[in-house]
Amino acid sequence: MIRITTDPIDPDALRHEMFNPAAGGYCAFEGWVRNENEGHTVRQLEYEAYDPLAVKEGKTILAEAADKFPHLQAHCVHRTGLLDIGDCAVWVGVASPHRDEAFQACRYIIDELKHRLPIWKKEHYANGDSGWVNCERCAEHAHG
Amino acid sequence: MKTITVRYFAMFREYAGVEEETLTLDADTAADVFEHTKSRHGSSEPSGHCKVAINDEMADWSSPIADGDTVLLFPPVAGG
């Protein structure tokens, strides 16, 4: 299951959905909005996703993880919209018979999600400026 | 010449000032579309950094373009 949502992420509720009698290990990753990036004080983060392809690509990543790690149960939720410092932007939860696979699968999924999902984030800084993360260097004429 | 719809996302959309537009271009591949619309999305380097989808399927820069296609240009992603 992968979900893209503007609603706040509730990790406790998501964890409860993972309970599974065959699982001996559960591992989760929460990505939080932090207050600094590359020397700039960040006030808010704004996430934008192209939902149809983010969901499709997310399902592909979860299927890849299931192939690599048998008997894996894996879920992911990514939030979009304007987020405040401390908000949970992404949650990945996996349950598997053994802990090693749970750690590895969780790491695999979050790493792939970050590189492959059509999701973008714009940082809003304390000084009033804003900037797209990873984007500025690709532009010939970046906005000020 | 092919008539295609180009959709811009995130920084590309802000730079172009539009979400999408229909263009008639001399383009064989997705890379050709990126190159032809450079002045619109403002990016100088597609490969390795930006991604492309054609008709809601992830594609490669070498993927062929057909008349009537919708080409989605994605700036470097930053999820998580």
Query: How would residue A141 be classed by pLDDT, with cut points 50, 70 and 90?
Result: very low
Instruction: Kindly list the structural domains of chain B, giving each domain's residue range(s) and its CATH number in brackets, ordered by start.
Output: 2-74 (3.10.20.30)
The stretches in chain B having pLDDT less than 70 are 47-48
Residues 3 through 42 of chain A touching chain B, CB cutoff 8 Å: 31
Average of per-residue pLDDT across A65-74: 96
pLDDT tens, position by position, B39-61: 999 887 776 689 999 999 999 99
Cβ–Cβ contact B35 with A under 8 A? no
Q: Which residues of B touch A78 (CB under 8 A)?
A: 79-80
In a domain, A28, yes or no: yes
Predicted ipTM?
A: 0.92
CATH of the domain at A94: 3.90.1170.40
Question: What is the C-alpha to C-alpha distance for residues B33 and B17, in angstroms, rounded to an integer?
Answer: 18
Domain residue limits at A113: 2-138
The closest CB to that of A140, out of B42, B56, B76, belongs to B42
